[in-house]
Amino acid sequence: MTNASTPSGAQQTALIVSAHPLFREGIARLLGDQAQVIGSVASWQEVQGLGLVQAPDVIIVDHDSSDLQEKDLTPLLWPDADDLRVIYVTLSGDKMTVHERHQVAGAGEADLLRALKGERPGASARSTQETTASQPIYTVQPSQGRMERMDKGTDKPKYTRHFIVVSALVAVVAIISVIGLLAVPKFPQASTQALVVDWLMDLHLGVIGILFALVMVFMLYSLFVFRRKPGEEGDGDHFEGNTKLEITWTVVPLITVLIFGVIGAVTLAEVTAAQDDEMTVNVTAFSFGWQFDYPELGIEKATTLNLPVNQPVLFKLRSLDQDVIHNFYVAEFRVKQDLVPGVPTQLRVTPNVEGAYRLRCNELCGTGHTNMLAPVNVLNETDFTAWVAEQKAAVSPEALAELGAGLHASQGCIACHNVSGDPGGVGPTWKGLFGSTREFTDGTSQVADEEYLRNSILNPTSEIVTGYAPVMPANYADVLSEQQLDAIIEYLKTLE
Ligand code: CUA
């Protein structure tokens, strides 16, 4: 096979310039009989020495020879040859990369062929199409190796194969990722809201699994399959961008995000919608504890959150703190809400599975954050009614002390006051406190009787025990009911 006919009908003439004999030989070999090599020299000076009367059709210059600048050549030899074609080329192995194009349109290795054919910028695209319609632009001997790649037709099947492999891998990895993500165990569902939230969460996990597969497979495949192989030293293939791909990876994520935005808004509206027959529970948070008022039932300052099953509940949330945000969160209910100082917030939950759960503060709020817990019981109607009745009945001293022990934990006292007798807590230990003599920073002292204990809880900074800092919150008059205050004092009496 020989080259396609050039516009002039005559064979093109080529001049090869490089300081390296191997480069000159390699290019001459690649050109074969596609062009007539009229000179093969090491420098511009040698070009002069050739004494060429007419400029060659194309000058192929070694890109790695930095002293071979086109501006030095053209005025020197052929000042009038303004359409002289000079091509800078890197040769590594049998692979040729075209770096700079002069008087040649397009990009990549194919430029060399266009130059050899005498095509001009602008005209090249059209004439190429016309030529390919009837015959190949350029045919090469199999022995000419990578020169084959200049024919675009042979690139396509090669990349199509990669694309098919990558698509299959993405599909497999996506399926495994999604199955794996959905298999991660969640807390049991215990509210109607949890169903909707989990559905949306699973939808997200599905998309995350697919995205993970897309990114990882493309990256790892490229790293391994297109890595530089031993002996390869040239540059990689040159790509000028891909409009279709760029539009795809812009539009697809945009639509995905918009769809999720709409689904998210609809779900949020559904989860927070008011319902008939709501029971109100006022939730008060403080550093570091919770209490619950049931205004419709006349129950105040409960330390356990008891709820009847299948009863829609409206939680009205407020914080006693001035500067700390807490968060109301029962994992099995899924939904949660911040308690912001000065800003009343609310949350709607319909518990639908009987059981014992736990309210956790879900906002890092200080040293007692991990202790900011409260038991949550979802009860059947009989049990709930019994609990309501119990809340209103009178209590014995033993029961009071027991209640006080519970308050010690649930109201955050435990964060500073241990009951083990260990010194070194933030506040004095409660063990043996009742009846002991307290010495204060102002030099006075007093025996810890009931009145003293009540005053230290309600006005914690009025007398500071020697050795301790005045850090106790002064809001217990709001936090504790009279009965709870009695319960704590009763509990202190038992800690001898
Ligand atoms: Cu309150 Cu963390």
- What pLDDT, in 10s, does the model give residues 378-403? 999 999 999 998 887 656 777 788 88
| Separation of CA 339 and ligand 1 centre (Å) | 9
Using 50, 70 and 90 to split pLDDT, how confident is the model at 47? confident
Query: Percentage of residues in the chain with pLDDT exceeding 70?
Result: 81
At position 30, the amino acid (one-letter code) is: L
pLDDT confidence of residue 189: 94
Residue 109 contacts residue 150 (beta carbons within 8 Å) = yes
Using 50, 70 and 90 to split pLDDT, how confident is the model at 4? very low
| Separation of CA 319 and ligand 1 centre (Å) | 11
Listed in order, strand segments (DSSP E) in 65-183 are 85-92, 95-101
Using 50, 70 and 90 to split pLDDT, how confident is the model at 412? confident
Residue 337 contacts residue 317 (beta carbons within 8 Å) = yes
Residue 2 pLDDT > 70, yes or no?
Answer: no
| Separation of CA 368 and ligand 1 centre (Å) | 7
Q: Answer with the residue of higher pLDDT: 124 or 118.
A: 118
* For the ranges 120-124, 147-151, 319-323, the one whose mean pLDDT is highest: 319-323
Q: Which atom of ligand 1 is nearest to the CA of 326?
A: 1
| Separation of CA 376 and ligand 1 centre (Å) | 17
Residue 184 contacts residue 236 (beta carbons within 8 Å) = no
pLDDT confidence of residue 137: 32
Q: Give SS3 for 452.
A: helix
Residues 6+ apart with CB under 8 A from 61: 17, 18, 68, 70, 86, 87, 88, 89
Q: Which atom of ligand 1 is nearest to the CA of 327?
A: 1
Residue 255 pLDDT > 80, yes or no?
Answer: yes
Using 50, 70 and 90 to split pLDDT, how confident is the model at 410? confident
Other CB atoms within a 10 A radius of the CB of residue 93 amount to 12
* For the ranges 251-255, 449-453, 484-488, the one whose mean pLDDT is highest: 251-255
Using 50, 70 and 90 to split pLDDT, how confident is the model at 267? very high
Nearest of 51, 41, 1, 44 to residue 21 by alpha carbon = 41
Q: Answer with the residue of higher pLDDT: 356 or 116.
A: 356
| Separation of CA 224 and ligand 1 centre (Å) | 48
* 356 HSE (CA, 13 A, CB side): 3
Taking residues 141-159, report their average pLDDT.
44
| Separation of CA 486 and ligand 1 centre (Å) | 26
Q: To 10 degrees, what angle do helices 152-183 and 192-225 make? A: 140
Q: Lowest-pLDDT range, 82-96, 160-174, 217-231, 271-285?
A: 82-96
| Nearest residue (CA) to ligand 1, atom 1 | 326
* Residue 347 host element (H or E): strand 345-349
Question: Which residues form the pocket of ligand 1, taking CB atoms under 6 Å from any ligand atom?
Answer: 288, 326, 361, 363-365, 369, 372
Other CB atoms within a 10 A radius of the CB of residue 28 amount to 15
Place of tokens 């008891």: 306
Using 50, 70 and 90 to split pLDDT, how confident is the model at 334? very high
| Separation of CA 14 and ligand 1 centre (Å) | 80
Residue 295 contacts residue 306 (beta carbons within 8 Å) = no
Q: Lowest-pLDDT range, 99-108, 155-164, 293-302, 320-329?
A: 99-108
Query: Percentage of residues in the chain with pLDDT exceeding 90?
Result: 36
pLDDT confidence of residue 158: 67
* Strand order across the beta sheet in which 373-379 lies: 305-308, 373-379, 355-361, 326-329, 336-339
pLDDT confidence of residue 82: 61
Q: Answer with the residue of higher pLDDT: 477 or 157.
A: 477
| Separation of CA 364 and ligand 1 centre (Å) | 5
Residue 107 pLDDT > 60, yes or no?
Answer: no
Q: Which atom of ligand 1 is nearest to the CA of 325?
A: 1
Using 50, 70 and 90 to split pLDDT, how confident is the model at 478? confident
Residues 6+ apart with CB under 8 A from 168: none
pLDDT confidence of residue 257: 94
Using 50, 70 and 90 to split pLDDT, how confident is the model at 483? confident
Cα 314 to Cα 80, 367, 486, distances in angstroms: 90, 29, 30
Q: Which atom of ligand 1 is nearest to the CA of 362?
A: 2
Helices and strands: H and E segment counts in the chain: 13, 17
- Token couple for 319: 């914080």
Nearest of 36, 146, 60 to residue 111 by alpha carbon = 60
Q: Which atom of ligand 1 is nearest to the CA of 285?
A: 1
Q: Which atom of ligand 1 is nearest to the CA of 288?
A: 1
pLDDT tens for each residue of 305-321: 999 999 999 999 999 98
| Separation of CA 469 and ligand 1 centre (Å) | 22
Q: Which atom of ligand 1 is nearest to the CA of 324?
A: 1
The CA distance from 16 to 87, in Å, is 10
Residues 6+ apart with CB under 8 A from 140: 1, 32, 34, 147, 148, 150
Q: Is 227 exposed, middle or buried (0-12, 13-18, 19+ CB in 10 A)?
A: exposed
pLDDT tens for each residue of 417-452: 999 888 888 889 999 888 888 888 888 988 888 888
